[in-house]
Amino acid sequence: MQEQYRTVAREGVHEIEINKSRFICALAPAATEQEAQEFIARIRKEHPSATHNCFAYVIGADGAIQKAIDDGEPGGTAGVPMLQMLLRREVRYVVAVVTRYFGGVKLGAGGLIRAYGGAVGEALDALGTVTRQRFRLATVTVDHQRAGKLENDLRSTGCVVRDVRYAEAVTFEVALPEQELDAFRAWLADTSAGTAVLELAGEAYGTA
């Protein structure tokens, strides 16, 4: 897995106008290809009278899934420059739809490439990006007597506590950078006087 990746901070829309044509770029985070397709369908439904609804998306921290569609624009003048802008900015798990309302002035191939790519670039600038760090998930189990202090200590050290479960003992689900596991294991043994049990689970991405 990639140690980290960058994605768009939030869903949003940014509009530019070039030679009387409106280019409306809608951006959103997308965890899966299905989420990306659902977002595209929603934007198309919002703009049924638009001349074009072109799109591009990149799914996977390593950019494994990529797709670009020109939606009636000359081949390679819309979806591809949109995709190239996403890749150039190194954003992942993201979908972009650029809706065009034709203003009557033809832009030519070069103009279209600049317009579609530029709309995505400006939208990324306007909405901002966030970095997601790869974390190792783990559970920490401790008796009720030590649980309150341990939870405070976990949170005060900046550890990401994702869940707390109370049963015969108290279990904390935490997320840790892989490189900090050994240090955390030692810290936990010291803090809990060796009573806490650490079990490693899977991996996930979260805000760094």
Q: Which residue ranges form the domains of the chain, and what is each CATH number?
A: 4-127 (3.30.230.30), 132-207 (3.30.70.240)
pLDDT for the residue numbered 180 = 82
Determine the Cα–Cα distance for residues 119 and 124; give it in Å rounded to an integer.
9
pLDDT tens-place string over residues 114-163 = 999 999 999 999 999 998 877 888 899 999 988 999 988 888 877 788 88
26, β-bridge pairs: 13, 97
The residues of the chain scoring below 50 in pLDDT are none
> Where does residue 128 rank: exposed (0-12), middle (13-18), buried (19+ CB within 10 A)?
exposed
pLDDT at 207: 63
pLDDT of residue 2: 66
pLDDT score, position 96: 98
The contacts of residue 198 (CB under 8 Å, 6+ apart) are 138, 139, 140, 184, 185, 188
What pLDDT sits at residue 1?
A: 56
